[in-house]
């Protein structure tokens, strides 16, 4: 058991980090912090605009800084961006500052969930399926590396997933002080 003051959701785009996160934050009386939304609020620009102006590397720098800022506090649920685990320092921070839940979903289900989404910069290509599969190959081992718990959202709507995950967390996560 990892007694941690914070709850952190990692996983691929479309796994439900934001939607499930809202429900879990309310259930566990945590402050919700969606990393991508926090970056947008801080910069006044969308993630897509940041990617366009600064490239992925510029965005990733902002993402690392925002994760550090959000996880400096206790009592927060952080919904990370899907690529936050790409940076080794981010992975160390996630493990050190929270109980990490890897929300799992297949690329096929991601495609269904993201069919109408045009906001995610890395998916603005005709070969979305291949992009998602390639991301999964690289990122899944990194999600697993940081995870205290893996939870499959494949066949669940957000409300049901949050309810089931809250029960599982009640058995596995002891909210405490971060190290």
105-121 tens-digit pLDDT = 999 898 888 767 676 66
Annotated binding site: 14-19, 36, 60, 120, 139
- 178 in a domain, yes or no? no
- 17 in a domain, yes or no? yes
**CB-based burial of residue 163 (10 Å sphere; 0-12 exposed, 13-18 middle, 19+ buried)?**
middle
Average pLDDT over residues 144-167: 96
- 58 in a domain, yes or no? yes
Annotated binding site for Mg(2+): 18
- 176 in a domain, yes or no? no
- 177 in a domain, yes or no? no
Return the CATH number at 140. 3.40.50.300
Torsional sign, CA 141, 106, 48, 76: negative
**Per-residue pLDDT tens digits for 75-107:** 999 999 999 999 999 999 999 999 999 999 999
What's the domain range around 157? 7-169
Annotated binding site for ATP: 14-19, 120
- 179 in a domain, yes or no? no
- 2 in a domain, yes or no? no
Higher-confidence residue of 51 and 117: namely: 51
Q: Model's pTM, two decimal places?
A: 0.92
Annotated binding site for substrate: 36, 60, 139
- Taken as a whole, the chain contains a residue count of 179
What is the count of structural domains for the chain? 1
- Number of H helices and E strands in the chain, helices first, is 7, 5
| Position 179 confidence tier, pLDDT thresholds 50, 70, 90 | very low
């Amino acid at each position: 058991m990892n007694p941690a003051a914070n709850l952190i959701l990692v996983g691929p785009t479309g796994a439900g980090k934001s939607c499930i996160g809202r429900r879990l934050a309310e259930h566990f009386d945590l402050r919700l912090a969606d990393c991508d939304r926090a970056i947008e609020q801080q910069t006044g620009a969308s993630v897509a605009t940041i990617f366009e102006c600064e490239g992925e590397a510029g965005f990733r720098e902002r993402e690392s800084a925002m994760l550090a800022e959000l996880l400096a506090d206790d009592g927060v649920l952080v919904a990370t961006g899907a690529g936050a685990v790409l940076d080794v320092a981010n992975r160390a921070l996630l493990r050190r500052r929270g109980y990490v839940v890897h929300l799992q979903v297949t690329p096929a289900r991601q495609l269904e969930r993201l069919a109408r989404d045009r906001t995610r910069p890395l998916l603005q290509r005709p070969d979305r399926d291949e992009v998602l599969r390639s991301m999964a190959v690289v990122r899944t081992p990194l999600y697993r590396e940081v995870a205290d718990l893996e939870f499959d959202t494949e066949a669940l709507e957000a409300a049901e997933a949050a309810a089931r995950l809250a029960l599982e967390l009640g058995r596995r996560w002891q909210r405490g002080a971060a190290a």
